[in-house]
Amino acid sequence: MLLIVFLPLLAAIIAGLGNKALGKLPAKLITTGALFVSCALSWPIFLSYVAGDAGPTVVPVLHWLSSGSFEAAWELRVDALTAVMLVVVTSVSALVHLYSWGYMDEEPDQPRFFAYLSLFTFAMLMLVTANNLLQMFFGWEGVGLASYLLIGFWFRKPSASAAAIKAFVVNRVGDLGFMLGIFGTYLVFDTISIPDILAAAPGMAGSTIGFLGYRFDTMTVLCLLLFVGACGKSAQLGLHTWLPDAMEGPTPVSALIHAATMVTAGVFMVCRLSPMFETSETALAVVTYVGAATCLFAATVGTTQNDIKRVIAYSTCSQLGYMFFAAGVGAYGAAMFHLFTHAFFKALLFLGAGSVIHAMHHEQDMRYYGALRKEIPITFWAMTAGTLAITGVGIPGTLFGFAGFFSKDSIIESAYAAGGPGTTAFLIGITAALLTSFYSWRLVFLTFFGKARWAGSEHIQHAVHDAHGHDSHGHDDHAHDDHHGHDAHAIGTAGYHPHESPLVMLIPLIVLSIGAVAAGFVFHHAFIDAEGGAQFWAPSTLAFDAHLMHASHEVPLWVKWSPFAVMATGLMIAYMAYIRHTDWPAKFTAQFHVLYDFLLNKWYFDELYDMLFVKPAFAIGRFFWKRGDEGTIDRFGPNGMAALVVAGGRLTRRLQSGYLYTYALVMLLGLAAAVTWAITVS
């Protein structure tokens, strides 16, 4: 267990400190090798829990802090919940490391990049193995730091630096809530040990606590504060604005941080502390409604985006919403199952998008793709597998289905079975599934089918980018109608032709495709079956509800077929609009241009926040700078004293005439003044 967690840290230290003196190849070998070893050690642990042969284990590392009643030991907790996260984090990270060998091949600063990747992995492993809240917070902030470094890896690129700062600042807002939740939990339970807190949580149900001058239900306050932290890390509505901008980092970063690991930290935290959330119906209702709202919001925005990575980014945001409303209705097993399957097909889609971008010489606008399935066939089939998984293709009542079919359908059925807020989540989940199918197949059709729009004219010479970070560039979202019958365009220089990615990039795609196809079928019994799930989750702190899982399998037939129906409907609409009748999108955007602009501009959240927070913050800063710092402190402080010294110098300089009679007069006047003072005093 110690090797799993600390090998990535050791690799990050070696690659980071060695940097260019170490060289590219040794840095890549050390970091990638360490991750594959961690991955190889993680899978047997996970499979032992699937087989029911393992129990919870705590591995001590060292005694950390002790002050009065406060005790914080550094311990690694291993149970079924941890085992799931271990295979997710190490598997995706190992494949991303390998993929980056090809994608970042021309990057001169590769040791730093691979060191950051490994550092992020270590921080995420610290988070998921935490046995107390302080250790969880250490990992929580560690992945925040690593994400800042990775998003802004190309720091000379202004948009990447701005995106890194935005991610850091928005997450600090969420982390304030998380910290207050930890402080409050310690105040109430007098411990930060997670097992002790969860054991005592039911006894605190119904109690009240003073907060902001009022009395509130204790567990509701604590759970909502903790959930604010989850909203920041997992990009839920309101604190989601950093996630799409984070696509400014290299594509492997998008796959690692913003698809499969860091953004799932909030979901993991809610599931880890699920016995706490179970004591507050209000907190669970908030989690349900926020998750459902995020699910719908992100899906609507994803239908209009033209940047291939941003479509997948909003897809991530939407899928996280599914996980949260699953947790909100009490289907924690389904939430973790979707987290597990989502890791495979979302990492696959991001890395597949990176392969497309690599083939198209760093062009990211899907309006300049088309007909690529014959040019990059392996990438095409891999992304098709990922799309089949995320849209939930499968036949209800059978064992035929891709990964998302088993996990997402389980969430939707559980929401229906739960009733109450779950009914609203069910309806929103079905609607979002329709939109997910539409925008996912839209991406496939625009990229791989139809007319080639990447050759034949002198379009955007600026699409030729060096390998130092121009993974993304901005097109004016309003520059083109959302239709795709315009003249073909050339990517880069004349004669450029799309090409398949090197083998080192294709191997991760193939491996992840296997997970996207088979992960749901192979592991659904352990995660969401009433009996199998109860056995699998028993050695963990997860509040698995076997009755809800049983009820979810007994829902009416129309509920079971609803996800399939909307998936097929979304596929048909995308096919008709982008294959058969390519003029439909232009007609739609012309007729409903207000709605289209609203979605294209992401519900104007960025503009709203800019007006409410950014501009006032800058105005306040300018006020304190100009009026406070320069106008008051500098004026009467250092600048004022300097001016006083200058004025005094000018005055005394006039007395220094150089004439003897002037000095004699001054001495005489001084002597007269002294005698006068002496006579007066006496």
User: Does 195 have pLDDT greater than 80?
Assistant: yes
b/e map of 428-462 (b: 16 or more CB within 10 Å)? bbbbbbbbbbbbbbbbbbbbbbbebbbbeeebbee
- CB neighbours of 197 closer than 8 A, spacing ≥ 6? 133, 185, 189, 191, 273, 276
Distance of CA 299 to the CA centre of its chain: 16
298 vs 521: CA distance, rounded Å: 27
Confidence of residue 260 (pLDDT cuts 50, 70, 90): low
User: Does 170 have pLDDT greater than 70?
Assistant: yes
Distance of CA 71 to the CA centre of its chain: 31
Placement of tokens 């001495």 in the chain: 667
Measured CA to CA in angstroms, residue 203 lies from 206, 298, 439 at distances of 8, 38, 47
Two tokens at 301? 């925005």
215 vs 221: CA distance, rounded Å: 10
At 655 the pLDDT is 65
Mean pLDDT of 280-296: 95
Min mean pLDDT across 70-79, 170-179, 624-633 is at 624-633
Helix residue ranges, H only, 488-542: 503-528, 530-537
100 vs 252: CA distance, rounded Å: 6
Rg over alpha carbons for the chain, rounded to the nearest Å, is: 30
At 490 the pLDDT is 41
30 vs 115: CA distance, rounded Å: 10
Measured CA to CA in angstroms, residue 365 lies from 12, 134, 310, 362, 453 at distances of 34, 43, 10, 9, 11
Measured CA to CA in angstroms, residue 7 lies from 3, 113, 129 at distances of 5, 17, 15
Contact in structure between 378 and 362 (CB atoms under 8 Å)? no
Give backbone dihedrals phi and psi of 43, rounded to 5 degrees, phi first.
-65, -45
SS3 letters across 33-94: HHHHHHHHHHHHHHHHHHCCCCCCEEEEEEEEEEECCEEEEEEEEECHHHHHHHHHHHHHHH
First-residue to last-residue Cα distance in the chain: 92
Min mean pLDDT across 2-11, 584-593, 643-652 is at 643-652
354 vs 360: CA distance, rounded Å: 10
Confidence of residue 617 (pLDDT cuts 50, 70, 90): confident
The secondary structure of residue 488, as a DSSP letter, is: P
At 540 the pLDDT is 86
- CB neighbours of 252 closer than 8 A, spacing ≥ 6? 96, 99, 100, 103, 104, 117, 351, 354
- CB neighbours of 151 closer than 8 A, spacing ≥ 6? 160, 163, 164, 167, 246, 248, 249, 253, 257
- State the DSSP string of 2-26: HHHHHHHHHHHHHHHHHHHHH-HHH
Looking from the CA of 363 toward its CB, the CA atoms found within 13 Å total 27
At 451 the pLDDT is 86
At 414 the pLDDT is 95
SS3 letters across 575-600: HHHHHHCCCHHHHHHHHCHHHHHHHH
More confident residue, 465 or 176: 176
At 463 the pLDDT is 36
User: Does 432 have pLDDT greater than 90?
Assistant: yes
More confident residue, 139 or 650: 139
Q: Determine if residue 255 is left, alpha or beta; phi over 0 gives left, psi from -120 to 50 gives alpha, anything else beta.
A: alpha
- State the DSSP string of 457-471: S---GGG---TTT-S
682 exposure class (CB count in 10 Å sphere: 0-12, 13-18, 19+): exposed
Mean pLDDT of 16-27: 86
User: Does 384 have pLDDT greater than 90?
Assistant: yes
More confident residue, 557 or 681: 557
Placement of tokens 């979901």 in the chain: 267
At 493 the pLDDT is 39
Two tokens at 171? 């997450």
Across-strand partners of 71? 66
150 vs 144: CA distance, rounded Å: 10
Two tokens at 367? 């309006």
Helix (H) / strand (E) element for 207: namely none
b/e map of 565-604 (b: 16 or more CB within 10 Å)? ebbeebbebbbebbeeebeebbebbeeeeeebeebbebee
What is the torsional sign of CA 386, 388, 392, 397? negative
At 455 the pLDDT is 61
At 192 the pLDDT is 92
Average predicted confidence (pLDDT) for the chain: 87
Across-strand partners of 112? none
Mean pLDDT of 315-341: 94
Min mean pLDDT across 409-418, 463-472, 629-638, 657-666 is at 463-472
205 vs 198: CA distance, rounded Å: 12
Two tokens at 436? 């997910």
Min mean pLDDT across 64-73, 78-87, 426-435 is at 64-73
Strands 208-211 and 214-217: antiparallel
At 496 the pLDDT is 62
The secondary structure of residue 501, as a DSSP letter, is: P
Measured CA to CA in angstroms, residue 85 lies from 74, 77, 129, 183 at distances of 19, 12, 9, 26
Confidence of residue 235 (pLDDT cuts 50, 70, 90): confident
At 261 the pLDDT is 77
Contact in structure between 162 and 247 (CB atoms under 8 Å)? no
Contact in structure between 412 and 433 (CB atoms under 8 Å)? yes
User: Does 241 have pLDDT greater than 60?
Assistant: yes
User: Does 491 have pLDDT greater than 60?
Assistant: no
